[in-house]
Amino acid sequence: MIELLLLAASSLPTVEVSGSRAPPGAATVLVAEPLLATRPLADWLAGVPGLHAAERSNAAQDLQLSSRGFGARTSFGVRGLRLYIDGVPASAPDGSGSLSQLPLELVERIEVLRGPFSALYGANSGGVIAVFTAPARDGASAGVGIGAFGERELRLQTGGRLEGGGWRVALGVARVDGFRPQQAARKRQVDLRLDLGRWRLGLNGLDLPAEDAQGLSRAAWDATPNSTAAPALQFATRKHTRQLQLGLSGREGAWQLAAWLGRRGVDQWQSIPVAAQQPASHPGGVIALQRRYAGLDLQRRDAIGALQLLTGVAVEAQQDERRGYENFVGSRLGVSGALRRDEGNRGLGVDAYLQGTWREHADRSWNAGLRAGRLRLSSRDRFLGNGDDSGERRFDTLSPVLGVEQRLLPGWRLHAQFGAAQETPTLNELAYRADGSSGFNQSLRAQRSRQWEIGIRGAPLELSVFAARSRDEIVAIGSSGGRARFGNADGGIRRAGAELGWQRQLAPAWSLQLSASLLRARLADGSVLPGAPARQAQLALEWQPAPSWRAQLRVQGKSRLWAGPGQAAPGHGLAHLQLQRDGRNALGAWRVSALVDNLTDRRHAPSVIVAEANGRYLEPGPPRRWSLRLSQALD
């Protein structure tokens, strides 16, 4: 059991969350409330101190996510953070993850864990983001939305009661044309849920074809920030993602189980020049990936006097069939041509973990944990005309953590933690050698880090300071010709920072929420860690003159964001305004929400492509844009 400070936009008291494996430390719970329901995931996470969440304004790519700089190295997808949806991992055994399949309108709360105790969730856990959707309920609803740059959406939901639970079906369709050429996308989602007592069965599906406008050079961004580079247009760069996942989770007595299986397919057409694909070892400019995955996490809780003990074991497996094709046929560009890559990738992870909480007395408790795991990653090359690039790696991990929590005054607690963790490479990071040549990277090592943290929390304040030092940190060396290369940083990386969360009810109708983060992350040569801003803050002022009316002004600021030596997106500040009205009619409850993002129409680049060798590292943010959404419940 842990007291977690709520950092939602409205002023809410600190609560206790039970039934979660999250230990004391820098942890935040975001509870769904009306003004968040229609916002992108990055806006949900923007109020979490220490977390960098940036929309890439590109449906072909996931959020840019990092916690205290962990996970900042990725140029696509999410790495270095452990992701969960309703107790089922949204991260593969190799550490790569995605939240593109998340139905935001169904989210009930999001728990974010930072700091040393993240290691108890396994390798690649520089932080943990766990999303929980609302339980099945009786009734139906429909929602529509329109907005600038061709945005439109339709959402339908229905559910009913069953003995001991209920069922739910949710469907969603969204389209956007984009504010840049080659940026259109279409997203279709389905989410089925069956609640039976303490057990939940869920099935969700995603179909997402999206054009990829890619990044811009600094010169192009300065001249025409809403443009698209010529190679993206010439090759019609795009990505098609499909996913279907079945998950079961629940509890019976002292035992708790999560089991899942699924399939994920990704087809991506890149803008790699034809000349660059001439060497026989080149994998081509089209990626075709088919992934099957499954897992099981079983745990047991026991109480031995004043000791609360949790033990568990987790097994995860993935099978990837990866092919590469030329992105041309004769003079036609942006089409699938001759086969250039054919391999089978495998990942198998087995972990055992132990976590204990001993309450010394009413004012003090001690927390300790240990997780041991083994991860096996392999690649079998079936395209042997250019040599055999098969390979296999095995990584053993051991992560001990220790923490204490002390009650200072009623409602106020001091916490301190220390831990060690490992982060293993993903299959993508092992795909090429550090010099860019083909073949499984046999020299890339797992990074090891030690981190300590001390903090205080109590309504209305949360404050943490931390320091971490890593060895063999995995960093992006560069990317050219479609090959992203990774290595280990000589001398590791030192991190230190502070995080603040504060909220206050200013008057009966007015509330204020503030979050701020400072991060100093330096390599041994003194250079800045790419992909993570040194300073960021958000201020949210909310006005609710009546139960049926809400208005909120959010102001966000971020320092410059480095992509590599001499490459950085400039810092910026943005303001957003949202209005919302609730009511009832003969059908049931309705809600109208109007939003204007980037009120001052400021040019900005919220995210970057780390170690992009062609110089197109800036990902432009949208100019001023509006959206309007209407939802109607059917009682």
Q: In whole angstroms, how far apart are CA 291 and each of 262, 340, 462?
A: 8, 19, 41
7 pLDDT higher than 60: no
Structure confidence at residue 537 (pLDDT) = 97
Return d(Cα 535, Cα 518) in angstroms, integer.
5
pLDDT in tens, 303-357: 998 999 999 999 999 999 999 999 999 999 999 999 999 999 999 999 999 999 9
Q: In whole angstroms, how far apart are CA 267 and each of 37, 143, 176, 253, 612?
A: 31, 30, 20, 44, 21
Mean pLDDT of 265-283: 93
pLDDT in tens, 45-78: 988 999 999 988 899 988 889 999 998 888 777 8
pLDDT in tens, 157-208: 999 998 888 999 999 999 999 999 999 999 999 999 999 989 999 999 999 9
Mean of the per-residue pLDDT values for the chain?
A: 90
Q: Which amino acid is at 516?
A: A
Under a CB-based contact definition with an 8 Å cutoff, are residues 406 and 364 in contact? Answer: yes
Structure confidence at residue 21 (pLDDT) = 43
The candidate with the shortest Cα–Cα distance to 74, out of 439, 376, 322, 429, is 429
Structure confidence at residue 480 (pLDDT) = 63
Residue 583 has which token pair? Answer: 């009511």
Structure confidence at residue 20 (pLDDT) = 41
C-alpha triplet 478, 480, 486: angle, nearest 5°? 30
223 pLDDT higher than 70: yes
pLDDT in tens, 585-623: 999 999 999 999 999 999 999 999 988 878 899 999 999
Predicted TM-score of the model (pTM): 0.91
pLDDT-based confidence at residue 375 (cuts at 50, 70, 90) = very high
Structure confidence at residue 41 (pLDDT) = 87
Task: Write phi, then psi, for 278 (nearest 5 degrees).
Answer: -70, -40
The candidate with the shortest Cα–Cα distance to 551, out of 584, 514, 582, is 582
6 pLDDT higher than 60: no
What are the sequence ranges of the domains in the chain?
2-506+574-634
**In percent, how much of the chain has pLDDT > 70?**
95
- CB atoms under 10 Å from CB of 149, counted, come to 18
Q: What is the CATH number of domain 2-506+574-634?
A: 2.40.170.20
9 pLDDT higher than 80: no
Structure confidence at residue 497 (pLDDT) = 97
pLDDT in tens, 420-464: 998 999 888 888 887 777 788 888 999 999 999 999 998 889 999
256 pLDDT higher than 50: yes
